[in-house]
């Protein structure tokens, strides 16, 4: 009957939403997410390809010094006990915080942030760390924040560029690494280190 059809249509819609949200999550994991689900934008503006140089840098960094690419939010501040219970958000390297949506129908979500200041990669709104914030989570993207002061290698039309997320007075200088992909071979990789500071 009509009630059964409405129930089936609602279940299909919820299932489609879960596919989109799952794709959004896996696109931020190092093993990739396959094809993007309908309405699932890749990692931030420009999609997954844009972040290729950052992924390469994380892979090279792990090979040189160890450490996972994807880390719990307390990784750099283990003394912050409030972060220990956060199981539905994670860091990607030192620069990014990803907050996947795990509730059906949700178009925003709360997340506890580590110390520092954080920019929303889409709106560029700034959030204060060591607090719980409400992030917009429309169906077309997963909330992703970047640490103030971060220097992040990204791909643009002309090649790799360094995207600097301005440090704020409270955050102090920022930093970032870029390890270019030089293909196969045994020579040690070139490690470029960058610092960002507020001008005076």
* pLDDT tens for each residue of 30-60: 875 544 443 444 455 556 788 899 999 999 8
User: Rounded to an integer, what distance in angstroms lies between the CA atom of residue 187 and that of residue 171?
Assistant: 36
Residue 67 DSSP label: -
Percent of the chain at pLDDT exceeding 70:
83
Q: 112 with 87: CB under 8 angstroms? A: no
User: 185 vs 197, which has greater pLDDT?
Assistant: 197
User: Rounded to an integer, what distance in angstroms lies between the CA atom of residue 177 and that of residue 102?
Assistant: 31
Q: List domains and CATH numbers for the chain.
A: 2-196 (2.60.40.1180)
Residue 190 DSSP label: P
Residue 19: φ, ψ to 5°:
-60, -45
Residue 115 has pLDDT above 50, yes or no: yes
Mean of per-residue pLDDT scores for the chain: 84
User: Rounded to an integer, what distance in angstroms lies between the CA atom of residue 172 and that of residue 153?
Assistant: 20
pLDDT in tens, 76-97: 989 999 999 898 999 999 999 9
User: Rounded to an integer, what distance in angstroms lies between the CA atom of residue 161 and that of residue 178?
Assistant: 10
What DSSP element (H or E) covers 14?
helix 2-26
pTM for the model stands at 0.83
Label the pairing between strands 132-136 and 159-164.
unpaired
């Amino acid at each position: 009957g009509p009630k059964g059809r409405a129930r089936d249509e609602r279940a299909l819609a919820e299932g489609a939403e879960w596919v989109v949200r799952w794709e959004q999550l896996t696109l931020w994991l190092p093993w990739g997410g396959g094809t993007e689900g309908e309405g699932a934008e890749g990692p931030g503006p420009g999609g997954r390809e844009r972040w290729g140089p950052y992924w390469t840098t994380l892979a090279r960094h792990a090979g040189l010094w160890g450490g996972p690419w994807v880390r719990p939010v307390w990784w750099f501040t283990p003394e912050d006990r409030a972060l220990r219970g956060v199981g539905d958000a994670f860091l990607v390297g030192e620069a990014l915080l990803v907050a996947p949506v795990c509730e059906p129908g949700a178009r925003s979500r709360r997340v506890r942030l580590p110390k520092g200041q954080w920019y929303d990669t889409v709106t560029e709104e700034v959030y204060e760390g060591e607090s719980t914030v409400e992030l917009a989570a429309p169906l077309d993207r997963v909330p992703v924040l970047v640490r103030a002061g971060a220097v992040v290698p990204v791909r643009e039309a002309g090649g790799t560029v360094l995207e600097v997320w301005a440090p704020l007075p409270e955050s102090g200088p920022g930093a970032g690494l870029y390890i270019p992909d030089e293909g196969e071979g045994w020579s040690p990789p070139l490690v470029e280190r960058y610092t960002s500071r507020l001008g005076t």
